[in-house]
Amino acid sequence: MLFFFLLLSAIFPTSSSAPFYFVFQIQGNVYPLGYYTVKLSIGNPPKSFDLDIDTGSDLTWVECDAPCSGCTIPRDRQYKPHDNLAKCGNPLCACDGPNGQCEYEVQYADQGSSHGVLVQDNILFKVSSTSLAHPMLVFGCGYDQKHPGHSPPPSTAGVLGLGNGRISILSQLNSLGLIRNVVGHCLSGRGGGFLFFGGMLIPQSGIVWTPILQSSSSSVKHYKTGPADLLFNGKPTSVKGLELIFDSGASYTYFNSQAYGAFVQLVTNDIKGKQLSRATKDPSLPICWKGPKPFKSLHDVTSNFKALALSFTKSKNSLLQLPPQAYLIVTTHGNVCLGILNGTEIGLENANLIGAISLQDKIVIYDNENQQIGWTSANCGESCFET
Ligand SMILES: *[C@@H]1O[C@H](CO)[C@@H](O)[C@H](O)[C@H]1NC(C)=O
């Protein structure tokens, strides 16, 4: 409560004509759940859906009672379309021919996918303690989901795509004049946090900004930044010039093979002589260590590890600080594991993703109006956020 009060006192009203901002309470964690979600109320009467917050994709979709293949929630909690398919004439729709339905297919970096049809319906947003907005928005009704083999399918109802593309509900709310085209999140390392649309919760000072790079080739717009150099314990390393995609939908951070190899080497060399030995039987993540006795929390072990930072060379003084808790987890087996993974292994080629693990305990703001991403350290704890 105290923190939220401080946060509110640090904000300032914007002069923009878009009047609203929407705040959502976040649930979830990086480990063991692997996702952060918010509740979105859709339809009339409204039904609540837990959606994975994903700044790495544009389309919002919910599990669809169409019927559905690969849905993970019970049928009565799925979205039931009711003669409200988005028609091919809809400007958000890419299909040919005026009488067809708008099909969509999204493929995620983790090999999962969703296929379905675009629908339009009212989505409910709390404007203040007494009033609601319920704009008509286009989103996906997913009736065919594939889940990557190696992990259990999430029990979420779909994905809240917070990218910058036209189909994103953020862009739609902005086109309707309801909000500024800005989204931000504060993911707590202890689980939970908050998400906001619109510009109001931006602290006035202390934010580090870096420009969003325009992607030339693909139609997919990512929150890509850089180039950035990796610092280890405040010192330069051989890892330089990384382009980084901010992706809250990825639990972990991914570096390209070369950067990953260098990072693993740095950490491994640094912990030599400490009371840590490789734990090869922990299936949680590829590289883990055990101590003399099982670790109960990150607190037990972070003093053995150095801080990382990413230095954005084209925006002066822009550092993304990554303390040990931004790249380590302690597993249910009591080992400590690296939460920066080899992106080449999941087919990312040269792309690097800053996943949720490295975005924790910061307010991160994606400002599509000024094409920049900003961040500042914050206490995102659930208990501080009262609705
Ligand atoms: C990363 O993964 C690729 C593909 O599996 C592999 O060839 C490469 O050796 C890995 N890099 C490191 C540093 O482990």
Residue 110, pLDDT score? 78
Q: Is 1 a residue whose pLDDT tops 50? A: no
Rounded to an integer, the average pLDDT of 219-234 is: 89
Amino acid 90: pLDDT: 76
* Residue 108 pLDDT exceeds 50: yes
350 C-beta closer than 6 A to ligand 1:
no
Q: Give the model's confidence band at 360: pLDDT under 50 very low, under 70 low, under 90 confident, else very high.
A: very high
| 257: its two tokens | 């093979």
Q: Is 321 helix (H, G, I), strand (E, B) or coil?
A: strand
| Res 227: pLDDT | 95
Mean pLDDT of 55-81: 95
Which domains, and CATH codes, for the chain? 2-197 (2.40.70.10), 208-377 (2.40.70.10)
Predicted confidence band of residue 4 (pLDDT cuts 50, 70, 90): very low
Phi, psi of 78 (to 5 degrees): -80, 165
C-beta of 227 in contact with ligand 1 (< 6 A): no
Mean pLDDT of 270-280: 95
pLDDT value, residue 99 = 67
Could you give the CA distance from residue 348 to residue 351 in angstroms, rounded to a whole number? 5
Total-model pTM? 0.92
Å from CA of 19 to ligand 1 middle: 49
Instruction: Return the pLDDT at 339.
Output: 98
Pairing of strands 61-63, 136-146: parallel
54 catalytic per annotation:
yes
**In the annotation, is 121 catalytic?**
no
The pLDDT value given to residue 382: 53
Is residue 261 lining ligand 1, measured as CB closer than 6 Å?
A: yes
CA distance 127 to 133: 6
* Residue-level pLDDT at 11: 40
Least confident of 64-68, 180-184, 305-309, 312-316: 312-316
Distance 341 CA to ligand 1 centre (A): 10
357, 355, 317: which is closest to 337 by C-alpha?
Answer: 357
| Interval 359-365 mean pLDDT | 97
Percent of the chain with pLDDT over 90: 74
Say yes or no to pLDDT of 197 above 50. Answer: yes
Instruction: Give me ligand 1 centre to Cα 303, in Å.
Output: 28
Average pLDDT value for residue range 45-66: 96
pLDDT, mean of residues 139-143: 97
CA end-to-end distance (rounded Å), the chain: 10
How confident is the model at residue 203, as a pLDDT? 77
Q: Is 158 helix (H, G, I), strand (E, B) or coil?
A: strand
Task: Identify the residue whose C-alpha is closest to ligand 1 atom 10.
Answer: 257
Nearest ligand 1 atom to the CA of 258 is 13
Candidate from 4-13, 194-203, 313-322 with smallest mean pLDDT: 4-13
Longest dimension (CA), the chain: 69
CA 285 to ligand 1 centroid distance, Å: 15
Spot the catalytic one: 52, 54, 121, 361. 54
pLDDT band at 15 (very low <50, low <70, confident <90, very high): very low
Average predicted confidence (pLDDT) for the chain:
89
